[in-house]
Amino acid sequence: MSSEKSEFSLDVQQVGHNTVSQYSAGSDLQLDRNFIQALEESIPSGISVIDESGEQVYVNDSFCRMFGWDKSELLGKKPPFVYWSDDDIYNINEAFRLTLENRAPKEGFDLVFRTRKKERMYVNVTISSFKQQSDRTFYLANVIDITGRKKTEEELISSRLFLMSSLESDLGIIIFSTDLNYNYIYFNKAHAEAMKFAYNADVEQGSNFINYVSSEDDRKLLKKNLDLALTGQPTTFIQTFGDKNKAYYECFVNPISNEQNEIIGTTFLARNITSRIETEQARIESETKFREIIDQINDAITVFDQKGQIIIWNNGAERICGVRREDVLNRDIIDVQLQLTPPPNNKRHIIENNINGILTMEASEKFNHIIDSEIIPLNSDSKRYIQSMVFPVKLNENYLFCSVVRDVTELKRYEKELFRVSQEKDRFYSMIAQYLYTPFNVFNNFSKLMAEELDNLPIKEIQKMARMMSNSASNLYGLLDNLLQWTRMNQGKIAFEPQLLNLREACHESVSVLNPGNEFNEFYVNYFIGEEIEAFADKFMLKSIFTNIFSYFIRHSGSNCHIDVLASHGNSEIEISVQSETSNLSHENLNEIFSASYVTSGKGAAEEEGITLSMLLCKDFVEKHGGRIWFASQDNSFKEIRFTLPDKR
């Protein structure tokens, strides 16, 4: 047996080397040389022949090229062959066993071999047996390289596994497909759970999807979109679904086509976006509340990003700057500030340097510090004084810059007015001290003189000093009385109780309190006032107005003072005129006596003392009624004071 195998092996080697002509008639393998040559050159697959003992007696050139070994390294060898892979040795032995038992499958065996370079190679091996004339059995193996196919199959399997893993994952992706009659072809776990959650339905493969949807509105909407997909129209929509429980879903419906491009069903993909919708709604609600809050703030609040783009502009900014929100959002803060800045600071390079220093955080010393500046609102030609402060806000990895601007124009005006009033108050107190100094000095000197020289003074001299002391006392009393009333008036401590008063009677009562025999020159008052004329006024204040005006004219007249009082109806007011011929009024602007600045300016003569205060008091009382008072005539010898009171006819 062994000699036969050896002889056969030699003959096969000779056949492999194109030496068939050397075989005798008794050779076991008779093959035509041309046939062998044609077979070797035309077949790309590897061919191997093994005898009954398992010895490899033939390999073709393709087999050698496939695995990289020479024929001399392969022929005459027995298993395990060098091209067998240790990774697949079990399957290779199993293939041999099935072949020997004549149970080899027609499609062959998929095995793993290895090349001379020790690289894995997937092969398909089909084995067939044949007999020679010597009745010896040989096994021919046809070997095909299927490495590329195997890799493709592995990738396909991997893709399928990945796809199935994705479809069945817990990422909230809902996937199902239906046929033309809405019956399930496939659904994943997420879809089954969603149907249970929404409709308390336990879905089954092959059953009708529409029948599980218990909500009539949901059923109509889903059927509508499935029908559109069956016509070839993909649809996308966001909708709430659910009967037992409701949730938001983002849905994608697409048609399924076969190789003939015929629509055979639909696929439905959906994502539960309830959390996203709720988060978005909460964000919108939060932003709305935030904007409502900052819009209620009177200060201008502006926010810009690191590119200098304005992203927030509240109502206060609209009001202070005169620029609407829609006109500045997403604009460059530099352009807007340049538009509002008055000369000489409205230079672009100046503003750019300031803003860029903020955006790059290089001018951090400007953060959280109040800066005084000016703007000209777009809806105005006048300057507005503002105080601004800017500070950075870190959001994630970026910065936003918030600017808070307050309009302090009125505050500046109040500060100036307060400063002016404070100065006038100081001057006022100084003048009051001077006014008080004169009468008190008279008292002091005369009382000292009388105390030391009373026995040596003639009676006429004593009477003269007493008269002068009396006049000083009267002046002092008038000054203190007017000062007290004016102070109480400014403090709001004088009651204001207007009523209908007969104007003629009020004027007459004011005259009766004057004492011309002592402190005034002789005077005469003529009334040109109708008995029916009534004024809506406070009785005390009206009498004080008349008394102080009469006293003013009497003090500045000669020995005899004639005063005329006239009254007439106007538009919802009564105009009263007090006229007199005077020779001692030579002020350039008599209306100044109705101003506190006149008292504090030092223009009033020392002898006027309480008189200028009395005219200031007249002005305050008239204005308390809503009226006006002024000098109507400044003729050298004729003076007229007019004032108005409400007419409540």
Whether 399 maps to a domain, the answer reads yes
Do 253 and 287 reside in the same domain of the chain?
no
Do 134 and 180 reside in the same domain of the chain?
no
Whether 48 maps to a domain, the answer reads yes
Model pLDDT, residue 38:
66
Do 515 and 540 reside in the same domain of the chain?
yes
Do 122 and 81 reside in the same domain of the chain?
yes
Within 8 A by CB and 6+ apart from 628, the residues are: 622, 643, 644
Look-up: residue for tokens 């193996």?
A: 141
Model pLDDT, residue 608:
47
Exposed (0-12), middle (13-18) or buried (19+): which is 104, by Cβ within 10 Å? buried
- The total of structural domains in the chain comes to 4
* CA atoms of 580 and 563, how far apart (whole Å): 5
Model pLDDT, residue 116:
93
Whether 240 maps to a domain, the answer reads yes
> What distance lies between CA 193 and its chain's CA centroid?
39
Model pLDDT, residue 21:
34
> What distance lies between CA 586 and its chain's CA centroid?
68
Do 367 and 496 reside in the same domain of the chain?
no
Over the chain, what is the mean pLDDT? 80
Is the backbone of residue 256 left (phi > 0), alpha (psi -120 to 50) or beta? beta
What would the two tokens of residue 121 be?
A: 């190679």
Per-residue H/E/C for 452-514: HHHHHCCHHHHHHHHHHHHHHHHHHHHHHHHHHHHHHHHCCCCCCCEEEEEHHHHHHHHHHCC
Indicate the pairing of strand 173-179 with strand 184-187: antiparallel
Do 512 and 580 reside in the same domain of the chain?
yes
Out of 357, 382, 407, pick the residue that ends a domain: 407
Model pLDDT, residue 9:
36
pLDDT tens-place string over residues 35-74: 666 666 667 889 999 988 889 998 998 999 999 999 999 9
Element (H, E) at 222: helix 216-230
The DSSP secondary structure of 519-587, one letter per residue, reads: TS-EEEEEEE--TT-EEEEEHHHHHHHHHHHHHHHHHTS-SEEEEEEEEEE-SSEEEEEEEEE-SS---
Do 208 and 302 reside in the same domain of the chain?
no
pLDDT tens-place string over residues 602-635: 444 434 444 567 788 888 889 989 999 998 865 6
Do 53 and 196 reside in the same domain of the chain?
no
**Number of residues that make up the chain:** 649
At 99, is the pLDDT very low, low, confident or very high (cuts 50, 70, 90)? Answer: confident
pLDDT (average), residues 227-236: 94
Model pLDDT, residue 6:
35
251 versus 418: the higher-pLDDT residue is: 251
Do 265 and 285 reside in the same domain of the chain?
no
* CA atoms of 446 and 449, how far apart (whole Å): 5
pLDDT (average), residues 74-90: 91
Out of 357, 384, 407, pick the residue that ends a domain: 407
Which of 208-212, 374-378, 433-437 has the weakest average pLDDT?
433-437
Model pLDDT, residue 17:
37
Whether 160 maps to a domain, the answer reads no
Whether 422 maps to a domain, the answer reads no
Q: Kindly report the number of other CB atoms within 10 A of residue 211's CB atom.
A: 12
Whether 341 maps to a domain, the answer reads yes
At 28, is the pLDDT very low, low, confident or very high (cuts 50, 70, 90)? Answer: very low
Write out the residue range of the structural domain in which residue 294 sits.
281-407
CB 241 within 8 A of CB 274: no
Out of 244, 272, 300, pick the residue that ends a domain: 272
The CATH number linked to 628 is 3.30.565.10
What would the two tokens of residue 510 be?
A: 């004011």
The CATH number linked to 100 is 3.30.450.20
Element (H, E) at 333: helix 333-340
Whether 530 maps to a domain, the answer reads yes
171 versus 217: the higher-pLDDT residue is: 217
Do 261 and 288 reside in the same domain of the chain?
no
Model pLDDT, residue 364:
82
Do 247 and 301 reside in the same domain of the chain?
no
Strand partners, 249: 239, 272
pLDDT tens-place string over residues 311-344: 889 988 888 899 998 998 999 999 998 989 888 8
476 versus 355: the higher-pLDDT residue is: 355
Specify the 3-state DSSP secondary structure of 157. helix
Whether 163 maps to a domain, the answer reads no
Do 7 and 41 reside in the same domain of the chain?
yes
pLDDT tens-place string over residues 177-202: 999 999 999 998 889 988 998 899 99
